[in-house]
Structure 1
């Protein structure tokens, strides 16, 4: 059945259409906003034998013909996804994945194609909305819908889905994924806006999203398929009690081991003992029949024990209070031949950041649908396997590395000097050498110090902190500077970057419904306190040398002689 319906959003009609294009897909939706059109398709298959994860793939491709362009290069066709496209793949994935039921393992793929582009309205939030609509009208079990909406602000007024020109004039640009009763995901940044400004923007986004959510519900009422019955495989209650008895007391003692690898080794030993005991008790055949569920029950017990301890004792598994930051050390200038460098350590997370200066010839050419442009500042984040004690092949950067690098770049880009003030191209690289949570925030902090070590006159120092939340509905605890385990077992993960004045970048994923504005504001204020503490530690470290090294001049003979000074609006003075 062909259906096309529209609703007003940000002063323009947003149209959803289904039943005309890509009819052999399980579901397809064409989203039109202005003259930008994004076709989103959904297909699913049977689970792969033996997998213990949900194989969801989200792909976003901007077709160059959509803007009347022919691809560059020798082959003259779209090839590897650009970083901006990969970021949109993550924006599609992050809000929809948690809304599938636990235990769902069918192969699922969402593909969003930008097939018409008006150079005013970007396709990323349309892809998020189209993915939601396709899932909602399909037979897959999914607790949606959600929509994606971009929020800008000009002269204090919020704008829903601003045009590219309006984004350039805005002091804030955030992308928000909203459900009927909650904020699901946030990604964006701005010019040092306050925590209250962010909360107001999220409230504006949620209110603006409601008509579109109603439209998706109406679309499902007309063309939606009956949802498939899905019951996740469950372990027999008797087996659960046996597992619980084997782990009683031991799981908490293991979880309270402070050092990461010692704790993980103890988890492995405890799990091995539990599995051997269950195998001996049940017999070979019965054990093999339920082996996967028995292994999964270990994780379920860990989840309940750790969360119960945190909420009951108001303590964290490493002994910290909720608002306590792990010990920090900052060492600028650790590498002899780089233009700038810094080693940033926070707990068991360690990042080595470097800054390299170049000429205009080193600017990155950006060939986007809007046209060509040149990028003077870029940040690359690396997460090699040794940082978590693992082995794997070294490949190109994955989606996670690109996403974390873009977050750190967004945080620092707002305070970079203009070309007139500083005629250099700047590349920052963050190598994660050790990781136990918050490695992307180590990239922000280390990257900032390395910039200062290279003599780049940033407007003000920037720090970042990763926050978490654990809640059972009645009780909650907000966690500053989260560990990897706290990220995995928590209900909210958000990273806040900024200066002493305000926020320059934020990334937030919320796994629970109905997070109140009061708790959101409390979390943001706690994040601000953590950020200021980290800034002070960065500035209390051995003062970075305001310099451009002799080695820097080798690559910039044609650039004017630069006399570096550190300009800093932060109240803590830097010795130069």
Structure 2
């Protein structure tokens, strides 16, 4: 007899065996499910408070995805030897889980909900993000918490014209697509993807394919709920105070309609705040007022006004029609001492983007569960409070900033040159200086232009556009280049980035059900139209990559040496390479395959470093004449240094055609001589000849006393005795 009431569901999902179980671990949580996908094991848990806090005005959902190093059989680094703050990867997966779950909680449900997913075991070939999303969804489904799930998810790849279901990491290396789609049985809710310039048709097909394939996981979760699910909460939304709603509407609707005729964001925002204050003042005069409730009602009125205007074919908030992109201004090279920069302005959204070039030493070293790797391309997005005319905290990046930076990075990766063609590491930073919607896509455009300004040979221009959709029954409108207000008030927002040839990144967040494949098809076609318009503006501003790097960027040269020579370049305890670095002012990086990369802002220093390394690694050639100092005199000859670290024996018989009695009569230490390499044996011993070099070059060697006398005679003045 066991103390556990354990339920297990197993199913085959593509090439993977999946097991879900509940009832044994974390039984005091509201819901807990363990998901095992081919030895990648995650635990999803959820806990919710039984009531909302008084005055709660928003839904307090938090999602945390946590990777434990023991999952990969590793001990954490650092002094304390335990996990610290979440990594960027953990933050991104936390957002990935949050996005499809959040829209499925009922309106008016304001109880605090916390979802925590732990990675307990990792198969390096099976990423943990899809199992984590399924575990979180299953935990919510069995908990009984009000939730319109379950949610399923799938990763889709694309290779050789075929879609791949949940490709392994090794399969992803040959895939042209990395797309994650999440949704319910009836609808797609979230898409996150990176693609190698694929068409809209291929991308939409991948979304549909992923939604079809995730049904297997959704059905398994439903089976688990039927066997082990907790009773559903007895929760109903608080009834709406219709008379109060009507009263607020009567006071606010007409002024709000007038406010939404103001096209400029700042003036419109000021007017909306003024209306809010006036409505509150009138309501307070009649008695106590719940400010949160009034704010919610006003938001609903605003949404109704904006949505109805657009669906009726009236101008949008800023006066545009549904297909027009805001005016675009582009300026390149705006910062004089950076490696590359661009100022991209689209309406009231502006990004100042800077590209910096570095060496292999500047690459980001990422210690992931699957193993350590290096990333040569970094994209960082920052949005300070002043960008929206507000005050606020300035410090480490928030989840939103990390997510936007990752989206922009995804969009640009497919057009980057290979490390073989462009050995630099690249960091792009987007500083959002103004924001009224679509700042992540402005970062994509500005990032591409900044890299071109820095001389990075990107394969093509990349532009991004944020789209919106408003759906009401059978009527819908797709909005190109949405504003911030349109983002909040719409039913779907999706961001599409790509070149003239195809899509490089696609992100969708769908807030309602009923968005069909046909609607998404129309939306993607309209997004392509907007993207091509922006690309034309970018090409006008900067038609091609700069051929010359900035004077402040490091120059770089790469060449190969024999791997066996690496230790000679490094020297004992790193002495040789440290001396080279210090004396030439260069950064020198040597890979295990013998690739040497030298970087410096000084062409002379770089040339000197290269020549010295080539000298250290050069192989002595028999028959070649070398010049070098005499390093030691011997009774039977002398040692002459012909290459760095390579001394050869100049035998006494090879010094002169005349008979040499004493080596010191002809040579002295430090004297520079030209010698010919006669032979080299298998042990690397070199045999040199001075007389052979003289014979080849037509010179002679005199005894030191004779040569000294000759020099003295040359410097004595006429008529003087020596």
TM-score band w.r.t. shorter chain? over 0.9
Give 1:389's aligned residue: 389
CA distance in 1, matches of 2:351, 2:445: 9
Give the counterpart of 2:220 among 212, 215, 223: 215
Equivalences for 1:251-262 in 2 at 5 Å? 251-262=256-267
Equivalences for 1:449-468 in 2 at 5 Å? 449-468=449-468
Deviation of 1:318 (Å): 1.2
Does residue 25 (structure 1) correspond to residue 29 (structure 2)? The answer is yes
Distance 1:105 1:169, change over 3 A: same
Q: In terms of mean alpha carbon deviation, does 337-346 or 73-82 score higher?
A: 73-82
Deviation of 1:232 (Å): 2.7
CA distance in 2, matches of 1:422, 1:457: 8
Helix, strand or coil for the counterpart of 2:164?
Answer: strand
Contact preservation (8 Å) 2:343, 2:446: yes
Q: In terms of mean alpha carbon deviation, does 213-222 or 232-241 score higher?
A: 232-241
Deviation of 1:213 (Å): 0.9
CA distance in 2, matches of 1:211, 1:418: 39
Contact preservation (8 Å) 2:153, 2:211: no
Does residue 7 (structure 1) correspond to residue 11 (structure 2)? The answer is yes
Equivalences for 1:131-142 in 2 at 5 Å? 131-142=136-147
CA distance in 2, matches of 1:402, 1:395: 13
Give 1:567's aligned residue: none
Give the counterpart of 1:192 among 194, 197, 206: 197
Contact preservation (8 Å) 2:449, 2:542: no
Equivalences for 1:394-405 in 2 at 5 Å? 394-405=394-405
Q: In terms of mean alpha carbon deviation, does 520-529 or 217-226 score higher?
A: 217-226
Contact preservation (8 Å) 1:454, 1:546: no
CA distance in 1, matches of 2:12, 2:514: 26
Equivalences for 1:120-519 in 2 at 5 Å? 120-280=125-285, 282-283=286-287, 287-288=288-289, 290-519=290-519
Q: Give the greater-gyration-radius structure (CA).
A: 2
RMSD: 1.6
CA distance in 2, matches of 1:241, 1:339: 59
Does residue 42 (structure 1) correspond to residue 49 (structure 2)? The answer is no
Deviation of 1:314 (Å): 4.4
Which stretches in structure 1 are left out of the alignment for 5+ residues?
563-576
Contact preservation (8 Å) 2:253, 2:301: no
Contact preservation (8 Å) 1:47, 1:106: yes
Deviation of 1:249 (Å): 2.3
Deviation of 1:557 (Å): 5.6
Distance 1:556 1:441, change over 3 A: farther
Deviation of 1:108 (Å): 0.9
Q: What's the CA shift string for 1:198-238, capped at 9, x where partnerless? A: 11111111111112111111111112122223333344221
Contact preservation (8 Å) 2:22, 2:34: yes
CA distance in 2, matches of 1:11, 1:424: 38
Deviation of 1:61 (Å): 0.9
Contact preservation (8 Å) 1:140, 1:228: yes
CA distance in 1, matches of 2:291, 2:446: 44
CA distance in 2, matches of 1:441, 1:467: 10
CA distance in 1, matches of 2:501, 2:364: 30
Contact preservation (8 Å) 1:235, 1:294: no
Helix, strand or coil for the counterpart of 1:380?
Answer: strand
Q: In terms of mean alpha carbon deviation, does 336-345 or 314-323 score higher?
A: 314-323
CA distance in 2, matches of 1:556, 1:346: 41
Helix, strand or coil for the counterpart of 2:45?
Answer: strand
CA distance in 1, matches of 2:262, 2:500: 34
CA distance in 1, matches of 2:550, 2:302: 51
CA distance in 2, matches of 1:542, 1:197: 30
- Off by >6 Å, runs of 4+ in structure 1: none
Distance 1:252 1:131, change over 3 A: same
Distance 1:456 1:293, change over 3 A: same
Q: What's the CA shift string for 1:88-112, capped at 9, x where partnerless? A: 0001100000111122111111111
Q: What's the CA shift string for 1:22-57, capped at 9, x where partnerless? A: 111111000011011000111112433333111111
Deviation of 1:556 (Å): 6.4
Contact preservation (8 Å) 1:468, 1:478: yes
Deviation of 1:560 (Å): 5.8
Q: What's the CA shift string for 1:282-317, capped at 9, x where partnerless? A: 32xxx33x4432232111111111111111134311
Give 2:701's aligned residue: none
Q: In terms of mean alpha carbon deviation, does 452-461 or 543-552 score higher?
A: 543-552
CA distance in 2, matches of 1:561, 1:96: 48
Helix, strand or coil for the counterpart of 1:313?
Answer: coil
Does residue 56 (structure 1) correspond to residue 61 (structure 2)? The answer is yes
CA distance in 1, matches of 2:291, 2:400: 31
Q: What's the CA shift string for 1:127-165, capped at 9, x where partnerless? A: 111111111111211111111211111211111111110
Contact preservation (8 Å) 1:453, 1:547: no
Give the counterpart of 1:115 among 120, 124, 134: 120
CA distance in 2, matches of 1:349, 1:239: 37
CA distance in 2, matches of 1:12, 1:75: 37
Q: What's the CA shift string for 1:465-485, capped at 9, x where partnerless? A: 000000112210000100000
Higher relative CO (CA 8 A, sep ≥ 6), structure 1 or 2?
A: 1
Contact preservation (8 Å) 2:379, 2:405: yes
Which stretches in structure 2 are left out of the alignment for 5+ residues?
556-584, 589-596, 601-722
Give 2:80's aligned residue: 75
Q: What's the CA shift string for 1:159-207, capped at 9, x where partnerless? A: 1111110111111010110210111100011110110001111111111
Q: What's the CA shift string for 1:382-407, capped at 9, x where partnerless? A: 01111011111212001000000000
Contact preservation (8 Å) 1:314, 1:477: no
Deviation of 1:561 (Å): 8.2
CA distance in 2, matches of 1:561, 1:7: 54
CA distance in 1, matches of 2:209, 2:516: 14
